Amino acid sequence: MVCSLIILLTLYFTLCLALLNTLSAAFVEEITDAIAINCVQKRSHLHFYFHDIVSGKSPSAVRVAGPPNSSIFDFGNLMMVDDALTEGPKLTSKLVGRAQGFYAMASQNEASLLMVMNFGFMEALLNTISGAFIEESREAVVIKRDGKTTHLHFYFHDILSGKNPSAIKIAGPSKSTIFNFGNTMMIDDALTEGPALESKLVGRAQGFYALAAQNEIAMLMVMNFVFTEGEYKGSTLSILGRNPVGDDVREMPVVGGSGVFRQAHGYALAHTVLFDPNTGDATVEYNVYVSHFQPDANLPAASLARHGMKPGQHALFFVFLLFIFVFGLNNSFTSNYV
């Protein structure tokens, strides 16, 4: 009798512990894999035309940096813009705002631009548009989406030497070295699977970095990781952050993405594995951790069954088997000796 009581108490506490583990595992799993957002949703669709005028006496786009003796379409050229945004395709149609910022030729082999600009809308028009959309679409909704965290590992090759460098100086003080404050480098750097430049190409880093500190080597990094292989082919991640290259490991924010990484956020860890002080060439290891939503919208957000049995469920299953064993043993003992 005492033995049976001890066994039952052991089963009870084991069952309580198993239930606690199950709840904890489910809670963590739901946060990381199934996100439910209660919000008032508003979606605005803005449609307009962007006029980039490079010609004439008063162009809205002017070249402010780039390699010497190059055309505006050459790799590395940077154009500052104050372009008109209009309601119709003609420049003379109703003005709705302006695009202010810059774009840069960030690819060596294609016409691909890095765009850094603000769309500034005229107040009267913005109030009209916002009011109409708020009135039409303001309602309480529950959005359920499957979240996913992805870890990407690759190597970044910044080549300044040779006949075809992937990083070129486009702006900076005259008679300065590449490591002086103010120097700005446009890049179209290879991203590879391994540390060797000859290893498998998985993408490119396109954008620029600038020496933005006077008392140390710290860079402002503005670039896109453009992936060219596997399930992420055609998708991008956008990096904007500070890179103090003297540190062993540097952290920079991932501020967005496109394709599979639409609405992504996260961080990138950079570690220099090779640097040539004579040429400035460098190989940098990147570990990128990014949170984004599952691309397959057909997957039920609340369903976690695809992950199999959780730790707490394993414990419950064990308790169930132990209970059957003890119950059978107790029946056997009773039938033989009572």
pLDDT of residue 215: 86
pLDDT of residue 141: 54
pLDDT of residue 246: 92
Span 164-212, pLDDT tens digits: 999 999 998 887 777 889 999 999 999 999 999 999 999 999 999 999 9
311-337 vs 2-33: helix axis angle to the nearest 10? Answer: 160
End-to-end CA distance of the chain: 12
Bridge partner residues of 191 (DSSP): 156, 203
Amino acid at 179: F
CA Rg value for the chain: 29
Mean pLDDT of 283-296: 87
Among the listed ranges 68-72, 102-106, 164-168, 280-284, which one has the minimum average pLDDT value?
68-72
Which among 9-13, 127-131, 203-207, 329-333 has the top mean pLDDT?
203-207
Q: Which DSSP string corresponds to 76-142? A: T-EEEEEEEEESSSSTTS-EEEEEEEEEEE--SSS--EEEEEEEEEPHHHHHHHHHHHHHHH-EEEE
Q: Taking the CA atoms of 131, 137, 142 and 148 in sequence, report the sign of the dihedral they define.
A: negative
Among the listed ranges 49-63, 65-79, 224-238, 271-285, which one has the minimum average pLDDT value?
65-79
Distance between CA atoms of residues 80 and 60, nearest Å: 8
Distance between CA atoms of residues 18 and 315, nearest Å: 5
Residue 131 has pLDDT above 50, yes or no: no
- CB count within 10 Å of CB 27 equals 10
Higher per-residue pLDDT: 162 or 131: 162
**Nearest to residue 283, comparing CAs of 205, 184, 217?**
205
Span 65-86, pLDDT tens digits: 888 887 778 899 998 889 999 9
SS3 label, residue 244: strand
Burial class (CB in 10 A: 0-12, 13-18, 19+), 3: exposed
**Nearest to residue 299, comparing CAs of 152, 151, 148, 150?**
148
Span 3-25, pLDDT tens digits: 555 555 555 555 554 444 443 33
**Nearest to residue 165, comparing CAs of 184, 185, 181?**
185
**What pTM was estimated for this model as a whole?**
0.68
**Nearest to residue 177, comparing CAs of 277, 47, 50?**
277
Residue 217 has pLDDT above 50, yes or no: yes
